[in-house]
Amino acid sequence: MTEQPQVPEATFASYYGRPILKVTRWREPHLPAYLFLGELSGAAAVLGAAAAASGRPAVARTARLIAAAAAYAGAGFLTAELGRPERFANMLRVAKPTSPMSVGSWLLASHSGLVTAAAAAELSGRLRGIGAAASAASALTGPLLATYPGVLLANTAVPAWHSASRELPALFAGGALTAAGAAGLAAWAWSGDASHAGPARRLAVLGAALESAAGYGLEHTLGMAGEPYRTGTAGYLMRGARVGTLLGASTALLAGRSRVAAATGSALLAGGGLCAKFAVLRAGVASASDPKYVVATSRRRRARQAERE
């Protein structure tokens, strides 16, 4: 009986050892910090408008101040990532609806202006009508700012990001809710004002559920493109993010009137959110560096296009 020749296992290689895709140059901690602060500002803006409409002035004031502070801190990290401040200004020279970068630049600029006006009215006690109108408008730009990074990353050719066009926006939306919940818990722990407790707990629980579900989707529903989210440093960070987020939400629920427990829950939620952003960046870099993911996801994408045709 003659032996049948064995077909060698398929391998994926790059051209002369060079990566097929140019690996992203985004740096740590600039990009993860910008993503976290952007979603915090967006969610806090929505919370401020909702609190004002429901007659919670203390919560509205805190949320408006947090939204403005997070927007400017996030813009600072973005500027540091770009290297020179004028590069951000250059992106505002034109408005291109077909360019995700252009849309994001104008969205960040408009949201920052609105939350600044709302916070200035709170601090000065003047022009409260304009401040209220700006706060209401920021409730529209806030959700867009919070989820926009997920859309932008999915619009790239990086396999771990491009294949997650549904999961990444959901991950950032959940992260925005948990970030706002963490800020509310911190405000409660610092001021002792228990009016922050109810909204903070609800945001923490809802955000933890959404962020954890989206993280599970990144790890288990993307096929080969989801492997970088399960392995290596990104895998450890994703699991750490899930543990921190769920523990933070549980601590917020069980905090009772303890300001120490509120502070602990806030730290866990914030830490979980930051871990998730680092994990997304690390997974993207790993998938762009390995030809296996680039070739396999490209073939799957072409196969789906052929089926539709």
Neighbours of 68 (CB within 10 A): 25
Contacts of 181 (CB under 8 A, 6+ apart): 200, 201, 202, 203, 204, 205, 207, 248, 249, 252, 266, 269
pLDDT for residue 7: 47
Q: Which residues of 243-252 are buried (b: 16+ CB within 10 A; e: fewer)?
A: ebbbbbbebb
As averages over each run of 10 residues, the pLDDT of the chain (309 residues) reads: 51 58 69 89 91 87 92 84 67 69 79 91 86 91 90 87 91 94 90 84 94 94 89 94 95 88 94 94 88 68 59
CA angle centred on 144, ends 138 and 145, rounded to 5°: 80
Q: Which residues of 139-173 are buried (b: 16+ CB within 10 A; e: fewer)?
A: bebbbbbbbbbbbbbbeeebbbbbbbeebbbbbbb
Type and span of the H or E element at 51: helix 30-53
Q: Are 205 and 253 in contact (CB under 8 A)?
A: yes
Q: Are 184 and 59 in contact (CB under 8 A)?
A: yes
Query: In degrees rounded to 5, what are phi and psi of residue 270?
Result: -65, -40
pLDDT for residue 301: 62
How far from the centroid of its chain's Cα atoms is residue 8's Cα?
A: 42
Domain coordinates in residue numbering, the chain: 24-155, 158-309
Neighbours of 189 (CB within 10 A): 23
Level-2 CATH architecture, domain 24-155: Up-down Bundle (1.20)
Q: Are 293 and 160 in contact (CB under 8 A)?
A: yes
